[in-house]
C-alpha cells in the first residue's frame, strides 16, 4: 500500500513538471590570480659594495684601488679582503700593504707581521672545544692553545675574516655561520642568497657601531647605475694614483708578469668558489647557472636528508677526507708557487744586479773618459798659455832690444853732434886766436 502511494506521488510530480536549478560553474566568478612578485637579481658585486662601504667604511678611492689591484695585478679577491683588513687594523696605507704583501712572497700572515700585528687580530672569541669545520679547526687550535710562533696559511686567514664579517656585519652566531658554510661551502654565495641580512650585526671592522648606511643596490635601479658610475670613476682615479706614487718614488706593487698571470688564472680555475675579477660595469653573474646550481644543491640536500644517519656519517667523513686532501693539495701547490716565485724573484734580482753593475761600469767608463778629456783640455790650455807667455816674452825682449839699440843710436848721434860742435868751437877759437895774432902783429 505504501509502495503504491509513493509511486502515485512520483507520477503526480512528473505530470505537474519539476523545476531544477543547474549551476554553471564556468560562469561562476573565479578568484583573482595571486600577485606577481618582481624578480630581484642580486649579484656578488652588490654585496661586495655594501661590505666595503658599510662594514669597512671605505671611500670610493679605496674601492677603486681594491678593484684596480684585482683586475690589473691579478691579486685574488680573498687576499685583497684580508689586506684591506690589515690596512684598517694597523693604520698603514692600503697601497703600502699591497707592496709589503708582494715583498712577503704573497703571504698574508707575514704581511700582517710586517704591519705589527700578532695574528690574533683575525679571530673572534670562541669557547674552547667548539666544533669548527673545515679550515677553522687547525686555526682555532692555535688560538685556544695560545701557541707561540704559530703560522696561518692564506686559506686560514680567508676563513677567519669571512667568519668575522658574518658575525659582526650579518649578525649570525659563529655556529650559524659554520652551518651555512658546511651546507654551501662559499661565503660569497651565502652572502648573496641571504643579502637581506646585510648590516643586521650593526658592527664595523673595528667592532664599533655602523656609521655609514648605504642604500641597497637591488632596491633601486637608479642607485645601482650610480654605483657603477662611481666605481668606473674610482678605478680610473686609482690607476692614476698608482702611476703618481710610482713617479714620486713611493712604494707601489709591481704588475705581475704574464707567467704569474697565467699561474694565478689556473689556481683560480682550480677553486670554484673564487670569483673572477669584476672588470666591467654591472658585474652580473649568469642567473641560469645560479638557478641550476641552486637546484642541484637543493636536490643533494634532499637526498642527504633521505639517507640513514650511518650513510650521512660516512659521507661526512669522506667529505672531510676530500677537504683535507684538497687543502693539502692547495698547500703543496701554494708551496710550489712560492718556490717558483722565489726563484723568479732571485732571477730578477740577479738580472737587476747585473744590470746595475753594467750601468755602474758604463757610468764609471764615461766618467773616466770625461776626466781624461778634461785633463787633455787642461794640458792643451796650459800649453797654449805657455806658448803665449813665451811669445809675449820674446816680443817684449825684441821690443826692449830695439829700444836699447835706438837709445844707443841716439846717444851716438848726440855724442857725434857734441864732438862736431866741440870741433867747431875749437876751430872757431883757433880762428879767433889767429885773428887776434894778426891784429897784434899789425
Phi (first) and psi of residue 209, to 5 degrees: -65, 145
Between the alpha carbon of residue 86 and those of residues 23, 142, 278, 364, the distances in Å are 75, 20, 23, 44
Question: What pLDDT was estimated at residue 158?
Answer: 93
Residue 49 lies in a domain: yes
Q: Contact 161/86 with Cβ under 8 angstroms? A: no
For the segment 385-407, what is each residue's pLDDT rounded down to a tens digit?
999 999 999 999 999 888 888 88
Residue 181 lies in a domain: yes
Question: What would the mean pLDDT of 130-145 be, rounded to a whole number?
Answer: 88
Q: Which helix (H) or strand (E) holds 324?
A: helix 309-441
For the segment 169-227, what is each residue's pLDDT rounded down to a tens digit?
999 999 999 999 988 888 889 999 998 888 888 899 988 888 767 778 888 888 888 98
Question: What pLDDT was estimated at residue 381?
Answer: 92
Residue 119 lies in a domain: yes
Answer whether residue 10 shows pLDDT above 80.
no
Distance CA 179, CA 133 (A): 9
Q: Contact 95/239 with Cβ under 8 angstroms? A: no
Instruction: Label residue 280 exposed, middle or buried (CB < 10 Å: 0-12, 13-18, 19+).
Output: exposed
Question: What pLDDT was estimated at residue 135?
Answer: 84
Q: Contact 64/231 with Cβ under 8 angstroms? A: yes
Residue 230 lies in a domain: yes
Distance CA 268, CA 266 (A): 5
Q: Contact 75/98 with Cβ under 8 angstroms? A: yes
Looking at the 3D structure of the chain, how many domains does it have? 1
Residue 406 lies in a domain: no
Residue 10 lies in a domain: no
Q: Contact 211/57 with Cβ under 8 angstroms? A: yes
Question: Which stretches within 169-286 are classed as H helix?
Answer: 174-184, 187-193, 221-247, 258-270
Q: CB neighbours (10 Å) of residue 306?
A: 9
Distance CA 121, CA 129 (A): 20
Residue 97 lies in a domain: yes
Residue 372 lies in a domain: no
* Domain hosting residue 65, numbered range: 44-285
For the segment 268-289, what is each residue's pLDDT rounded down to a tens digit?
666 544 444 444 433 344 444 5
Band of pLDDT at residue 123, cut at 50, 70 and 90: very high
Amino acid at each position: 500500500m505504501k509502495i503504491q502511494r509513493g509511486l502515485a506521488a512520483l507520477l503526480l510530480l512528473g505530470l505537474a513538471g519539476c523545476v531544477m536549478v543547474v549551476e554553471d560553474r564556468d560562469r561562476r566568478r573565479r578568484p583573482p590570480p595571486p600577485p606577481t612578485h618582481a624578480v630581484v637579481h642580486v649579484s656578488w658585486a652588490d654585496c661586495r659594495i655594501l661590505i666595503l662601504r658599510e662594514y669597512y667604511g671605505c671611500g670610493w678611492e679605496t674601492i677603486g684601488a681594491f678593484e684596480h689591484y684585482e683586475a690589473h695585478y691579478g691579486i685574488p679577491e680573498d687576499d685583497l679582503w684580508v689586506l684591506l683588513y690589515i690596512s684598517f687594523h694597523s693604520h698603514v696605507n692600503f697601497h703600502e700593504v699591497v707592496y709589503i704583501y708582494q715583498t712577503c712572497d704573497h703571504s698574508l700572515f707575514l704581511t700582517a707581521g710586517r704591519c705589527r700585528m700578532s695574528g690574533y687580530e683575525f679571530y673572534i672569541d670562541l669557547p674552547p672545544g667548539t666544533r669548527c669545520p673545515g679550515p677553522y679547526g687547525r686555526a682555532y687550535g692555535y688560538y685556544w692553545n695560545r701557541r707561540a710562533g704559530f703560522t696561518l696559511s692564506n686559506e686560514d686567514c680567508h676563513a677567519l675574516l669571512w667568519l668575522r664579517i658574518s658575525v659582526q656585519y650579518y649578525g649570525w652566531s659563529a655556529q650559524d655561520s659554520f652551518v651555512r658554510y658546511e651546507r654551501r661551502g662559499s661565503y660569497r654565495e651565502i652572502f648573496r642568497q641571504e643579502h637581506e641580512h646585510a648590516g643586521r650585526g650593526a658592527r664595523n671592522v673595528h667592532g664599533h657601531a655602523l656609521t655609514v648606511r648605504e642604500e641597497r643596490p637591488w632596491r633601486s635601479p637608479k642607485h645601482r647605475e650610480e654605483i657603477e658610475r662611481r666605481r668606473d670613476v674610482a678605478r680610473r682615479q686609482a690607476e692614476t694614483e698608482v702611476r703618481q706614487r710610482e713617479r714620486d718614488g713611493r712604494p707601489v706593487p709591481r704588475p705581475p708578469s704574464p707567467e704569474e698571470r697565467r699561474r694565478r688564472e689556473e689556481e683560480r680555475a682550480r677553486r670554484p668558489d673564487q670569483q673572477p675579477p669584476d672588470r666591467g660595469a654591472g658585474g652580473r653573474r649568469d642567473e641560469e647557472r645560479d638557478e641550476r646550481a641552486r637546484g642541484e644543491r637543493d636536490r643533494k640536500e634532499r637526498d642527504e636528508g633521505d639517507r640513514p644517519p650511518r650513510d650521512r656519517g660516512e659521507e661526512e667523513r669522506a667529505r672531510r677526507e676530500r677537504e683535507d686532501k684538497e687543502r693539502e693539495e692547495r698547500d703543496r701547490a701554494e708551496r710550489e708557487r712560492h718556490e717558483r716565485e722565489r726563484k723568479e724573484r732571485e732571477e730578477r734580482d740577479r738580472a737587476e744586479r747585473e744590470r746595475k753593475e753594467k750601468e755602474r761600469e758604463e757610468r764609471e767608463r764615461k766618467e773616466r773618459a770625461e776626466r781624461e778629456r778634461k785633463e787633455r783640455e787642461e794640458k792643451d790650455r796650459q800649453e797654449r798659455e805657455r806658448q803665449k807667455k813665451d811669445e809675449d816674452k820674446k816680443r817684449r825682449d825684441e821690443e826692449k832690444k830695439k829700444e836699447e839699440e835706438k837709445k844707443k843710436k841716439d846717444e851716438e848721434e848726440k855724442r857725434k853732434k857734441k864732438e862736431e860742435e866741440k870741433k867747431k868751437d875749437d876751430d872757431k877759437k883757433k880762428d879767433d886766436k889767429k885773428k887776434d895774432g894778426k891784429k897784434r902783429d899789425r
